[in-house]
Copies of this chain bind each other. A is one copy, B any other.
Amino acid sequence: MPNTTLEHPIDLDKVLEEIRQALEQHDFQKAVAILEEYRPADQAEIFTDLTDEEQRLLLTHLSPEDSADILEELDDEQALELARELPDDELVTIMDEMEPDEAADLLGDMRPERAKRLLEELEDPEEIRPLLLHPDETAGGLMTSEFLALRRRMTAGEAIEAIRQWQPEAETIYYLFVVDRYGRLVGVVNLRQLIVAKPEALIQDIMSDDVIFVTADTDQEEVARLMARYDLLALPVVDENKILLGVITFDDLVDVLEDEATEDLQRYGGAEPLERPYLDTSPLIITKKRIGWLLILFLTATLTGSVMKLFEHEIQTMVALTLFVPLLIGTGGNAGSQTTATIIRELATGNVEPRDALRVWWHEARVAILLGMGMAIPAFIRAITWVDNPMLALTVSVAIVVLVLWATGVGSLLPLVAAKFNIDPALVSGPLMSTMVDATGLMIYFSIAKVLLGL
C-alpha cells in the first residue's frame, strides 16, 4: 500500500526502478501491475518520468480505463504529446473511457483535422461536441456534460433508483440538478437530502429553487470565486435560456484556484504565466514569456537614468549624493511592492474593491507615515556615519519619508485602477511598481537635496 502520509506520497525512484526492471525483462504484466497499485495522480507522475519508449510499451499493455485515468491526470501538453504518439484506433478506445470534459480538452488541443476524425469515431460524439465550443478558461470549458438531471415530479425513491441505474463514474452526483420539460434549470437537491427524505417525497418539495448558476462564457476565475464563496461541490452551467448545459465539479475548482494563484505570482514576479510545467517548457518559450516585460521595464528604467542626467550638475558638485541612490530607490520599491502584493490578493479574494480606493489610500498613508518615520532614523544614522554631513543625512531622512509615502500610494492605487478597468491587477507587478517608483523617487530625492543643501 502506498504510504500517503509523507510529504512525497510515493517513492518515485523506487517505483521507476521496479517498472524499468520489469520492462527490461519484457514482463509487461508485472510493469502494469506495479503501476496499477497507485492512484491515478501518482500513476501520472510515475508515467511522466518514464522515457517515451517506456511510456509506449506500458500503454499498449494498460487497460483503456487506466490509460484514460492517466491521460486525464497529465498536464494538457503532456497529454497532447502522448496522444500524438498513439494510432487513432488505440486513442479512440482510451478516449471513450475519459470524462467528456477531459476528452474535449484534449481534442481542442489537437490539429483540427485529427480532432474531427477522432470525434467521429468516438462512441458518443454528441456528449463531447458541444463542449468543444467553449474556450478552455470559461465555465463552458470546465463543465462536463455527464450529469444526471432530475424532474420535479419524480419522487426521492425514483431519483435514488435512477442513480443506481445510471451507476455514475463521476463525482457529479452529490448535487443533482432539476430541470423542467424544456431542460431549463429550476432547482437543486443534494444526495444527502435525497437519502434523508421519505422515498415517496416529491423532488419539487425537497429541492431548493434558489440555485447558483453561471452561463457558459463566465470566466473561470469568477467560477472559482462563486464555488469557494458558497462552498459548492458543483456549479451548473446554463445557456442564455437557462437550459442546463453541464456541471462544473469541485476538482475543477481546485485546479482553477491553483492555476490562478500560479498566474498571479508569475505576473507579480514580472513574467507572463507559463502554460505548462516549468521544466517541460523550453528555454526559448520561457524567454519569450519574460523578455517583453524586461524590455518595458528597461525602457522605463532609462527614465531613472534621465532623471540622474537632469541632476548631473548637482551630482558633480556632491558625488556623495549618488551613494544613497540604490538605498533610496530600493526602499521606495520595496515599500510599494509590499503594498501592491497585499492589495492584489485583497482584490482576488474580494475583500477590497475598486470603490474602496479612497479608504485604501488613507489606510496606506497612515502606514507610510509610520514606516517612513521608522526608516528615517536608521537612514540618518547610516548617512551620518558614512559621509559626516548632517545636512546630507537630513536630506536622506526626509527623502525616505516622502518616498515611502509616494511609493505606498502608487503601490495601492495602481492595482485598484487596473481592476477598475477590468485589467488583471496582478499585471501591476513588483518590478513594474519598483521601476515606476525609481524615476519619480529620484526626482523627489534630488529636489529635496537641492533645497536642503542649496545645490
Contacts and interface: CB of A to CB of B under 8 A. Distances in A.
A162 to B, nearest CB: 11
A250 B228 CA distance: 10
A344 B278 contact: no
A323 B308 contact: yes
A294 B331 contact: yes
Contact of A326 (B268, B305, B351): B305
Interface string A285-299: 011001101110111
A455 to B, nearest CB: 15
**Which of A265, A322, A334, A339 is most buried by chain B, counting CB atoms within 10 A of its CB?**
A334
A112 interface: no
A314 B285 CA distance: 39
A323 B305 contact: yes
Interface string A264-280: 11101111001001110
Contact of A271 (B261, B308, B338): B338
A41 interface: yes
A218 interface: yes
Contacts of A265: 261, 264-265, 268, 341, 344-345
Interface residues of A, number: 125
Contacts of A291: 370-371, 374-375
A181 interface: no
A356 interface: yes
B305 A386 contact: yes
Chain B CB within 10 A, most for which of A2, A191, A274: A191
A413 interface: no
Contact of A269 (B195, B323, B338): B338
Nearest to A341: B269
Contacts of A363: 278-279, 283, 286
Interface of A: 1-2, 4-5, 7-9, 39, 41, 160, 163-164, 167-168, 171, 173-174, 191-192, 195-196, 210, 212-215, 218, 222, 226-231, 233, 250-251, 253-254, 257-258, 260-262, 264-266, 268-271, 274, 277-279, 283-284, 286-287, 290-291, 293-295, 297-299, 301-302, 304-305, 308-309, 312, 315-316, 319, 322-327, 329-331, 333-335, 337-346, 348-349, 351-353, 356, 359-360, 363, 366-367, 370-371, 374-375, 378-379, 382, 386, 429-431, 434-435, 438, 442
Given A265-B341, A334-B431, A345-B266, A251 B231 contact: yes
B294 A335 contact: yes
- The 7 lowest CB-CB distance pairs between A and B, nearest first, are A269-B341, A261-B261, A283-B366, A304-B326, A271-B338, A287-B370, A231-B251
8 contacts: A9-B229, A171-B233, A173-B192, A228-B258, A233-B233, A257-B258, A264-B265, A269-B430
A339 B360 CA distance: 30
A246 to B, nearest CB: 15
A233 B359 CA distance: 39
Residue from A227, A279, A326 whose CB has the most chain B CB atoms within 10 Å: A326
Contacts of A164: 195-196
A258 B349 contact: yes
Nearest to A366: B283
A330 B257 contact: no
A404 to B, nearest CB: 8
Nearest to A253: B254
Contacts of A305: 323-324, 326-327, 386
